Amino acid sequence: MDTQLEEMRQQMQTLKNKLEKQTIVNDHYIRRSMQKRTDKITRQYRIIIALAAMMIPYSYWCFVKLSGFSIAFWIGTCILMLVSAIATAYNRKRLTDISMMNNNLVEVSKKLARAKKFDADWLFIGIPLIILWFAWFMYEVYQGNTDVIHEGLFWGGCVGGIVGAIVGYKVHIKTQRQYQDIIDLIEDITKE
């Protein structure tokens, strides 16, 4: 009887050890999955920062040299690109500061929620800035003469504005969804 009881205790201890190892492995995989998702967001942010940086010299060539726009418009475009790059870099830095593998998940969730909110709030700042920039763009188009080049700029600007708005909105929605997926995953884990 004592040997059976001792054997059962050993089996229980073995089972307990296996469950602990499984929990540790599951936690590791879950954290790795969350890290991969945040890496996708930061990769997206890096692309946005690179595009904004490339727009500075390109916009001089495109707007000033080719189209004859004012230097003030180019400077305004550069300022807009710099502000966009800085805001994106700021939020990217917030994400890279989060260590999914080591930090408390509740803290990680709070930091992700703040980054998600900043991303959403930036939309309310960015849209008016883009509308003002686009209005200035149209003003610059009509300041030039009404030849074929400027007519093409007008229609190209309209099409580019619509396509840019659609792509930007889709990227924003995708990023917000990625943030929410990670936050939801953390909430599911912490409930248990």
pLDDT at 123: 87
pLDDT at 101: 58
Q: Do 97 and 115 touch, CB atoms closer than 8 A?
A: no
- pLDDT level of residue 108 (50, 70, 90 thresholds): confident
What number is the average pLDDT over the span 47-65?
91
Nearest of 179, 68, 55 to residue 120 by alpha carbon: 179
- pLDDT level of residue 192 (50, 70, 90 thresholds): low
pLDDT at 188: 77
pLDDT at 109: 82
Least confident stretch, 22-26, 46-50, 75-79, 159-163: 22-26
How far is residue 147's CA from residue 136's CA, in Å, rounded to a whole number? 19
> What is the pTM for the complete model shown?
0.76
Contacts of 178 (CB under 8 A, 6+ apart): 37, 40, 41
Query: Residue 144 carries which DSSP code?
Result: S
How far is residue 121's CA from residue 22's CA, in Å, rounded to a whole number? 40
- The separation between CA 150 and the C-alpha centre of its own chain, rounded to angstroms, equals 35
Give the count of alpha carbons within 13 A of 127, CB side only.
11
- Give the three-state DSSP class for 48: helix
Least confident stretch, 18-22, 30-34, 130-134: 18-22
pLDDT at 105: 76
Where are the domains positioned within the chain?
Answer: 2-191
The CA angle 24-25-31, to the nearest 5 degrees, is: 90
Q: Is the pLDDT of residue 146 over 80?
A: no
pLDDT at 63: 87
Contacts of 55 (CB under 8 A, 6+ apart): 77, 81
What number is the average pLDDT over the span 125-141?
91
- pLDDT level of residue 176 (50, 70, 90 thresholds): very high
How far is residue 51's CA from residue 53's CA, in Å, rounded to a whole number? 5
Q: Is the pLDDT of residue 166 over 90?
A: yes
